[in-house]
Structure 1
């Protein structure tokens, strides 16, 4: 549940195999137009995973029937936004059908499917790059 200590958000690092692994990043239509996986603020009474699923549906038009969540991969990022602590939790999710269309909300102006290095370049933030690299290592480990 959302804590009173700071902001809390959740999202999904969505990937597809075509056959190489590609990650979905959305470009915001506000601020610095940064690139990020679908994510958003946890609403009262919502679990972190419920938030991640809802936000992915709202921001990218991808619903639970389009993805497989890898619940044994979870990445928690903690940083400050305008002087307030923020926690963002990401799960890894595979797109079942690589042709599933991405339908953006007005919060985003563009999306890209990117290989790891490109995704890291687009994301810009060190902690997000680390999350993508960890996801990639997880996906390329022999037991995944």
Structure 2
């Protein structure tokens, strides 16, 4: 058994939209089944996350600003396999952009942090949401103006 750290083979975007200076909503997708988010061979994580996001939501790279320096590695176990998915913070800049969900999802909702955390099943996702909320509200996105 190797102790080598394996690079994440999955990537995703944790999407938000800003309604005002202190009002942020996160996009939550309700799934019918497990959906893969595996990176293609030689695919960069952010590139893969954008591709996967487009498949799942219809949002393209033109709709999203990705803050790749805010990577949140999320570790989980599935069928006794340890996996890691790298999430990146993504801002959907058009608050009225229509979301077109994939067949493996049955619904989506934009929710503030409290409602989103109440809906999330896993503590790791809740921790990530809180971390990203702090980054956004504390305006740690650099010269980026939302």
Q: Which residue of 1 aligns with 2:144?
A: none
Q: CA deviation at 1:122?
A: 1.1
Match of 2:30 among 18, 27, 32: 27
CA contact (8 A) 1:60 1:104 kept: yes
CA contact (8 A) 2:58 2:100 kept: yes
Q: Helix, strand or coil for the counterpart of 2:100?
A: coil
Q: Helix, strand or coil for the counterpart of 1:12?
A: strand
Q: CA deviation at 1:119?
A: 0.8
Q: CA deviation at 1:7?
A: 7.1
Q: CA deviation at 1:50?
A: 1.3
CA contact (8 A) 1:12 1:91 kept: yes
Q: Which residue of 2 aligns with 1:96?
A: 93
Q: Which residue of 1 aligns with 2:110?
A: 113
> How many angstroms apart in 1 are the aligned matches of 2:135 and 2:7?
29
- 5+ unaligned residues in a row in structure 1: which ranges? 32-37
Q: CA deviation at 1:143?
A: 3.7
Match of 1:141 among 135, 138, 143: 138
> How many angstroms apart in 2 are the aligned matches of 1:133 and 1:63?
25
Deviations for 1:90-132, whole angstroms, at most 9, x for unmatched residues? 1111111100110011011100000001111111101111110
Q: Which residue of 1 aligns with 2:41?
A: 44
The more displaced of 117-126 and 58-67 is: 117-126
Q: CA deviation at 1:82?
A: 0.8
What is the TM-score with the length of structure 2 in the denominator? 0.85
RMSD: 2.2
Matched, 1:78 2:75: yes
CA contact (8 A) 1:5 1:85 kept: no
The more displaced of 57-66 and 22-31 is: 22-31
